[in-house]
Structure 1
Amino acid sequence: MKLTLDEYSKKFKMSKEMINSKLRTKKLNYIVEDDTVYIIVPDEVPQKQAQPSSPSKSPAKPRTTVAMVLSLYQKENLQLKAKIVQLEEKIDKLIDDKEQMLRDEMSKIEKVYSTKDEQLKQVLELLNTKLLAQSTNTVHDVEPLPQTQKAIDVEEENKIVELKSYLKTLELEPYQRKIIKKRFLAVYDSDVRVIKQNGKLYLDFAKYDYSDLLEY
């Protein structure tokens, strides 16, 4: 026996949505004739219905209703929502853990750079101290001597002599005096023997030997 969707729905009191679902899942046998779907119903169904008092007949299965289907869908939706909530909680926890790892890593990097900066600062301070010490050892500029004191040093005690005046006392040619003067100027920044006062170069024969610079 074959029934249309409407006939099957009325006969078995089943919604069309449920019938279509069973058709899609191939739980019902059907054929298509002239663009009409017919559901195949076994012929023995009426015979079984004609013997309701038979003791050997198995109990009838409860019919599926729309309410039952909706209840099933609602239950599945609740389960899916619970799973979604669990997944969102896991994702939030992963994000928090990742951010904490990044913060810890950044803190370590800042600590390393802070230590390096402190070490570099100490090295620079040490170099600066050494440079200042060297600069003190090679400084040439001295406080200008009072005119009376300079006259005593040059004329009376004869300890500090101006280079230009001293070269004039030597029997040298002008070009030779220029060579010697250039030699003194070349080593002025690195030789502590050369003294500068009031923009002039002086020699202290009482302390130093200038024979190497006075050669000609």
Structure 2
Amino acid sequence: MQLTIDEYSKQFKMSKEMINSKLRAKKLNYIIDDSVTYIQVDDIPVQKEEKSEPVQEKRALTKPKTTVATVIALYQRENTQLKEKIMQLENKIDKLIDDKEQMLRDERDKIEQLYSKKDEQLKNILELVNTKMMLEHQDQTIHEVETLEKEEEIPETEPGIVELKEYLKTLNLRSYQRKVIKRRFLSVYDNDIRVVQKDGKLYLDFSKYDYSDLLSY
């Protein structure tokens, strides 16, 4: 049997473009008569049944159309998942905040303990300083009493006793030399019984003692 291109297209549900492509590739037997192309067909019923089955199978495999309800259900499911993720993130954030606050509290306690120890140390240092000052004050008071007692023992009219400054003036010494000797006497008068102080002045008793070691220059 011979079918035109239009007839072949309707019979086998095939587009004209596909038919022309098969003709150019010589996959179909055809003849041209009076400028009309006729396609040779051997067995139409068999070909029709064979061709119709794949079409039906394709229709059976066609996906169902997406409805509005399906889209809404999909969005609701995604929204629920997002809410769960948001809740999980919020729980993690709350835990991080709690951990941070606990760390700050621990750090504050450590600082308070440190300052408490420093305060205790400072208190002990102040007590030591006060004790030392009291002892120094007592020593100074005792020294002043001893100095007064020592001064009272000086017999002003006793011969051989002379004031250091006046005695140094009688020596042939320079000014800086006299100052050096005077400083030497001042540094030892507390521990040397040969030197006596009264009214802020140092006295020497040549009738009893030798001062050559202190007067040497």
Q: Return the TM-score normalized by structure 2.
A: 0.47
Could you say which structure has the higher helix fraction?
Answer: 2
Larger radius of gyration: 2
